Structure 1
Amino acid sequence: MSDKRVYSDNPRVLAVQTLAKIKNGAYSNLQLNQVIKQHQLSEADKRLLTTLVYGVIQHRLTFEYWLAPFIGDKKINPWVRELLYTALFQMQYLNKIPQHAIFNESIEVAKILGHVGTAKFVTAILHNISRQGLPEISAITDPILRLSIEASLPVWLIEELVTQNGEAATRALVAMINDAPMQSIHVNTLLASDDEVVAALAAENLTAVKSQVADHAYIVSGGHVASSTVYQKGWLTLQDESAMLPVESMVLTPAVKTILDAAAAPGGKTTQIAQAIAADAKITALDVHPHKIKLIEQNAARMQVSDRIQTQVLDARKVASEMETTFDRILVDAPCSGFGLLRRKPEIRYDKTLADVQNLARLQGEILDSVSQKVAENGMIVYSTCTILRQENDDVVAQFLANHPEFELVKTVTSHQLKPDRHEAVLHIYPNDYHTDGFFVATMKKKSGTPA
């Protein structure tokens, strides 16, 4: 951060300050929300602040490449680098802002956060960029490095995606990861019909368009859903369309009486399950952190399904040793690297490593091993993640099935019959398939004659 303690409602100043904090480990969404709450900003300034912060995070490696020849080996304050990145973002991606305005505003921010010398340095860099132009990414000869800089994704991640999906599919995938995510909702069918929710949203000037991905789901525009009366009444929950698919695949018939949600927080899938089960069925929802259990309970209370859900603080790896109940259905929405959520959490691309992915895959396997010992005869485990890497998806499932011959992989089926012609039982959803988050769902059934 800048050495100067500056309070300002200038959205460009706030963007630079926020980016410097995020670079030091703060989460982008939490940091942005905090800044917006602490400052008196117009709606236009809130939009500009949000756009600048997410834009820089999404394109950081690209900006680093573009700026390198102008900076050389010179040591510069981290906030000055963030300021130059915000200028580059505006120059390259916000074409409605004229260049002279970008330069003037950036130099003014340099004066506010720094001193005259800083402002002169920023002025010189920006004018050099204007005169010389930015280096061409197409000049990079290594195709993996070139795509890494284009997409602003680390080289190791590009290598993995290309190895697993091929270069053409990877290019199609990464072309979508910086698109703004849409607001999607799932209707609480216990409290209201789809038509009632759509009408109630319309009364608050919100437009709902039926989802092509999930049942009782809608894309909502025109305002902030979480601030709406219909949200407060519990008639809906905010959830990405692809995140609704694991519950759809659980085959929650009236005969299903016991359900375990093994990694349940914050409770979106738990409450979705509660809407689909018989009145005499019960859900046990676990999380290892007490504060996250409270989130599940708050969501359940708002959705008016608390009577169907029992919460428990427990590491899912201890289910086999700590729980006596057997379950007809178990959902393992596993802790994962989250690379399917890059549109929502762009900073995770820089935080995670291949070693992290491998460690998570071990954790996921341990959870499956444990919960599998509490599946009733003919019961099912649905395993899901919000990542797009096979190490945490297909490889975890394959290893589990190799270690547990009492289970068989069955085809994952969703309400809208997504990808019906696919040649694999598991379901891969990539961001470019349906403009949703990336997700993976596998369905494993316990064979007859194999008691818990």
Structure 2
Amino acid sequence: MQNRDLLQFWLYPSIKNQKKITPWVKWLLYMSVYQMKMLDRVPDHAVINEAVNLAKEKGHKGIASFTNGVLRSIQREGVPSVESIEDEQERVAITTSHPLWLVRRWTKQYGEKETKEMCETNQKRMPESIRVQPMLISRSEAIKKLEEDGFTVEPSEFSGQGIVIHSGTIVKHPLFREGYITIQDQSSMLVAELMDLHADDMHVLDACAAPGGKTTHIAEKMDNSGIIYAYDLHKKKARTIEDKARSLQLTNIKADGHDARKLQEIHEAETFDRILVDAPCSGLGVIRGKPDIKYGKEEKDIFNLRKIQDDILDHLAPLLKKGGLLIYSTCTVDRHENDEAVHRFIGNHPDFTVEDIQEHLPPSVRHRFKDGTGLQIFPQDADSDGFFVTRFKKRSK
């Protein structure tokens, strides 16, 4: 639930003396207060009556009485104002239901204004985006079909294959069911766009590939030529890549289960023209679409994941051909996993440089490129996920 902490703040005065509240009762109160204070379709008295009946049905008379008392009190007296919270960062944390440790961390990294905008944007609905399979249908053809069927759409500036959907249910549309398009966030479309792919005998490694959105985009950019080795730690997830490839009629992907930190066991040095490391990360850039992430993460997770990111990059560097490109991406907005990981890698691998990709970026995020590090997209930048991507080049000599 996106607003859990705010609802908890509103409920606290009414339940603070209760030693223990059964989880289902607490969630019943959350949902009821949400309807009363954040929606206007159902009258308060109807919300309260429904909650009391549910409490009586699932619990007992005492729980029903407690539920009625709490909600009647809120109906009568209202809820506390977040303006009563003096600490600015704590106020942002409660108002947007983000953990205080995370708000403080982002504020230290990016400042109060950027952090507040990011947290507020994470509470808003994000439009869906899709990618056409260009060997089966053009973007203009797909847009025409969708508009004829009542969808409101526009071309994405992130990819020539991308379409942003403002209204319409794409999973029910024939274009999706018949494999003409795939669902992919706009930010992640940048990965394949920045890999400088060609329709020839390229050998590409996607080291952390599941569920396969970027892998299949790479295959499409290669016009279904060459070969892409796509790996995931779990064989079951590797099969989802194969399924996605089949649905899009792509045949140049070879998927398997293998640890990205052990791929030297099956591939020789300087095998690949391109390597993608879409690294395991904290996922703090996709809170908007997956709000549970913000409640389940701890600060220590960021540091634990960074060790894995470093190990993957170090292990895969020798597999890239001289003059080849290594793309590193994450769906997080934390500098420790992004900027700092880049600086460490360059420091330990002097045969790699960070390329200036600014001219290849969409205008809306071009200003976010940092020379020597890469591109950090925030959720508020382009109605897309928070995302980081950089492109390393291995020296020819």
- TM-score of Structure 1 vs Structure 2, range by shorter chain: over 0.9
- Correspondence 1:420 to 2:360: no
> Does the 8 Å contact 2:236/2:257 carry over to 1?
no
SS of residue matched to 2:366: coil
Name the residue aligned to 2:238.
Answer: 293
Q: Answer yes or no: is the 8 Å Cα contact 1:330–1:381 preserved in 2.
A: yes
Q: Which amino acid aligns with 2:128?
A: Q
Q: How many residues align?
A: 392
Query: Residue 319 in 1 paired to residue 319 in 2?
Result: no
2-structure distance, mates of 1:93, 1:129: 13
1:111 is displaced (CA, Å) by 1.9
Worse-superposed segment, 192-201 or 375-384: 192-201
Match of 1:235 in 2: 180
The residue aligned with 1:263 is 208
Task: Provide the C-alpha distance between the structure 2 equivalents of 1:376 and 1:151, rounded to a whole number of angstroms.
Answer: 46
Does 1:213 pair with 2:158?
A: yes
Matches of 2:56 and 2:240, distance apart in 1: 43
| Residue number in structure 1 paired with 2:303 | 358
User: Once the 2 structures are TM-superposed, how far is the Cα of residue 254 of structure 1 from its aligned partner?
Assistant: 4.4
Structure 1 Cα separation of the partners of residues 144 and 223 of structure 2: 27
Residue 217 of structure 1: how far off its partner (Å): 0.9
- 1:435 is aligned to 2:379: no
Runs of 4 or more, structure 1, over 6 Å off, are none
Runs of 5+ consecutive residues of structure 2 not aligned to the other structure: none
Q: How does 1:319-358 map to 2 (within 5 A)?
A: 319-324=263-268, 326-358=271-303
Which runs of 5 or more residues in structure 1 are unaligned? 1-56
Identity of aligned residues (%): 38
Give the aligned residue type for 2:231: L
> Which residue number corresponds to residue 11 of structure 2?
67
Question: Counterpart in 2 of 1:54?
Answer: none
Structure 1, residues 86-135: CA drift from partner, whole Å, max 9, x if none? 11111221023221222122212212221222111111111112222212
For the residues of structure 1 that align with 2:304 and 2:205, how far apart are their CA atoms? Answer: 24
Contact 1:338 1:386 in 2 (8 A): yes
Contact 1:215 1:416 in 2 (8 A): no
| C-alpha distance in structure 1 between counterparts of 2:328 and 2:193, whole Å | 12
Residue 197 of structure 2: aligned partner: 252
For residues 146 and 207 of structure 1, what CA distance do their matches in structure 2 show? 36
The CA RMSD measured in Å over matched residues stands at: 1.7
Q: After TM superposition, give the deviation of residue 412 of structure 1 in Å.
A: 2.9
Separation (CA, whole Å) in 2 of partners of 1:329 and 1:261: 9
Query: Quick one: which amino acid aligns to residue 82 of structure 1?
Result: W
Matches of 1:159 and 1:339, distance apart in 2: 14
Asked whether the 8 Å contact 2:365–2:377 carries over to 1, the reply is: no
2:130·2:163 contact (CA, 8 Å) conserved in 1? Answer: yes
Q: Which amino acid aligns with 1:141?
A: E
CA distance in 2, matches of 1:417, 1:314: 37
Find out whether 1:137 has 2:82 as its counterpart: yes
- State how far apart, in whole Å, the 2-side matches of 1:198 and 1:409 are: 36
In the alignment, which of 97, 116, 133 is matched to residue 152 of structure 1? 97
Which of 159, 171, 185 is the aligned partner of 2:130?
A: 185
Distance 1:418 1:445, change over 3 A: farther
Shift of 1:215: 2.1
- Report the secondary structure of 1:198's partner residue: helix
Q: Distance in 2 between matches of 1:422 and 1:120?
A: 54
The code of the aligned residue for 2:54 comes to V
Is 2:312 aligned against 1:367? yes
Deviation at 1:263, TM superposition (A): 0.6
2:114 corresponds in structure 1 to 169
The worse-fitting range, judged by mean Cα deviation, of 89-98 and 170-179 is 89-98
Alpha-carbon contact 1:318-1:370 (below 8 Å) kept: yes
Question: Distance in 2 between the 1:411 and 1:118 partners?
Answer: 62
Contact 1:412 1:441 in 2 (8 A): no
Deviation at 1:311, TM superposition (A): 1.1
Once residues 384 and 368 of structure 2 are traced to their aligned partners in structure 1, the CA distance between those partners, rounded to angstroms, is 19
Letter in 2 for 1:419: V
1:298 counterpart SS class: helix
- Tell me which amino acid in the other structure corresponds to 2:177: Q
Query: What TM-score, normalized to structure 2?
Result: 0.94
**1:222 Cα deviation after fit:** 4.2
Moved more, 240-249 or 140-149: 140-149
Residues 384-436 of structure 1 show CA distances to partners (whole Å, capped at 9, x for unaligned) of 01111111111111111111111001123546355334561311111100111
Q: How far is the alpha carbon of 1:197 from its aligned partner?
A: 1.6
Judged with a 3 Å threshold, the aligned counterparts in structure 2 of structure 1 residues 350 and 398 are, in CA distance, closer, same or farther, namely same
In 1, Cα distance between the equivalents of 2:391 and 2:334?
Answer: 18
Distance 1:203 1:268 in 2: 27
